[in-house]
Amino acid sequence: MNQLRATLSERHVNMMCFSQSVGIGLFLQNGRAIHYAGPGMATLAYILSGTIIWSAASCLGEMTALFPVKGPIFELTKRFLDQSVGYATAWLTWFGWIMLIAAELVAITHMFKFEYPPELLAQAGYPSSTLSFAPNISPGVLILIFIPFILLFNLVPVKSFGQMEYIFGTTKMMFVCVMIVLNTVIHAWNRADKGHFWTYNQPYSFAAKNITLADGTIVNGGIAQLAGMWEAMTTSIFGLIGIETVAITAAVAVTYLEFYKCVNQAAKGGDDSLDDKDDPEVRSQYDRNSPGYPYKSHGQWLRACYALTGCFLLALFNGWRSLTHPTNIQDMLGC
C-alpha cells in the first residue's frame, strides 16, 4: 500500500523536471563543453545527448504511467528484468544522486570565486592588471553553510516542496530566457573594430581546432575535434541528470490518481459521457492493444535500443582508462 501523500500537481512535476535538468549543466558545464568542442560542436553535442536522455526518459515515462509505483527506476527494473538488476540499479541511482549533490556543493564554491584572464584585460585596455573576487574563507566552510539549506528543503512536506520547486524553477527558466536574449543582443552589437557577431569568427570559429590532454599534450586535426565532441557529450549528459524526476514523483503525483480514476470509471461504465457503455467498440478504446489507445507508443522499442546503445558507448569509451596500466583509483571511481 502506498504510504505517500499524492499532492503534487502536474505543474509541480513539470517544473521540477525542468529545474533539475537545467542547473549546473547549463550555467557551468556548458562553458566546459564549449572549451572542449567549440560553440557549434558543443550545441550539436547537447542536441545528440538530449536525444539519448529523451529516449531513456520516454521509456521510463511510458512504464511509470502504467505502473506509478514508489522508486520506479529500480522497482520496474526488478519487476521486469531481474531482482539483482534492480538491486544494482538502486545503488547506481543512489550513487549518481550523491555525486550530483556533491557537484552542486562544489559548484556553489565556484560561484563565489571569479577571476578574469589577465591577457583579456590587457587586450580590452582595462586600467588594472587583475579583476577577481574570492572571499577569504575556505570552500569547506561554504559547503557546511549550504548543507543545512539542502536538508531543510528536502524535509518540508511534499506539497510545500513542490510549490518551492515551482517558484524557483519558474524564476530559473525566466532567467535563462532573458540570458539567451541578452547574449544574442550583445553578440549582434556592431563593434567598430570587429563588426557583428565577431565572436563567431576566428580565432573562435564553429569547432575547436585542438584539444589539450591531461599531460599537456596538444592534439590537432580531426581526431582532436572528435575527442572534443565526445568530451562535450559526456559533460552535457552529466549536466542533464535529473530528467528522470518525472518518474520519481509518480507515487506522490495526484495527476496519476485522477487519470486512473477516470479510466477505471469509464471502463466500468460509470462515465456519463459515453453514449453506449455496453458497446464493445467503445470499451475496446480502453484496451491497451487497441490502435486508438493514446498511451501506447508503437516505436518505443526503437527509442529504448537507441538509449541503450548511446549509454553503452558512453560507458565503454569513458571506462577504458580504469582498465589500463597504471591503474588510477580516481579514474576507476569516476568511470
Distances (CA, A) of 130 to 8, 19, 75, 123: 49, 35, 54, 12
Using a 10 angstrom Cβ sphere, with 0-12 exposed, 13-18 middle and 19 or more buried, the burial of residue 139 is middle
Residue 333 carries which side chain, given as an amino acid letter? L
3-state secondary structure of 313: helix
Cell triple for residue 59? 521509456
Hey, how many other C-beta atoms are within 10 angstroms of the C-beta on 76?
Answer: 20
Please tell me the distance from the alpha carbon of residue 241 to that of residue 238, in angstroms, as a whole number.
Answer: 6
Beta bridge partners of 126: none
What are the φ/ψ torsions at residue 191 (nearest 5 degrees)?
A: -85, 140
Query: If the chain, 335 residues long, is cut into consecutive pieces of 10 residues, what is the mean pLDDT of each piece?
Result: 66 76 71 80 85 79 75 79 83 81 82 78 79 77 86 83 83 85 81 70 70 74 80 80 73 61 53 54 60 56 71 66 56 53
Q: Which residues of 144-173 are buried (b: 16+ CB within 10 A; e: fewer)?
A: eeeeeeeeeeeeeebeebbbebbeebeebe
Query: What pLDDT shows up at residue 2?
Result: 53
Going by C-alpha positions, the residue among 293, 278, 305 that lies closest to residue 52 is: 305
Instruction: Round to the nearest angstrom and report the end-to-end CA distance of the chain.
Output: 38
Please tell me the distance from the alpha carbon of residue 238 to that of residue 36, in angstroms, as a whole number.
Answer: 15
DSSP result, 117-129: -HHHHHHHT-SSS
Going by C-alpha positions, the residue among 244, 249, 243, 247 that lies closest to residue 21 is: 243
Say if CB 263 and CB 256 are below 8 A apart.
Answer: no
Listed in sequence order, the DSSP H helices in the chain are 10-21, 24-27, 29-37, 39-66, 72-80, 83-111, 118-124, 139-155, 158-188, 222-239, 245-248, 254-267, 280-284, 300-319, 329-334
Going by C-alpha positions, the residue among 75, 69, 137 that lies closest to residue 109 is: 137
Query: What pLDDT shows up at residue 279?
Result: 64
Query: What pLDDT shows up at residue 123?
Result: 77
Please tell me the distance from the alpha carbon of residue 296 to that of residue 290, in angstroms, as a whole number.
Answer: 9
* DSSP 8-state code for residue 191: B
* DSSP 8-state code for residue 327: P
DSSP result, 9-52: -HHHHHHHHHHHHSSHHHHTHHHHHHHHH-HHHHHHHHHHHHHH
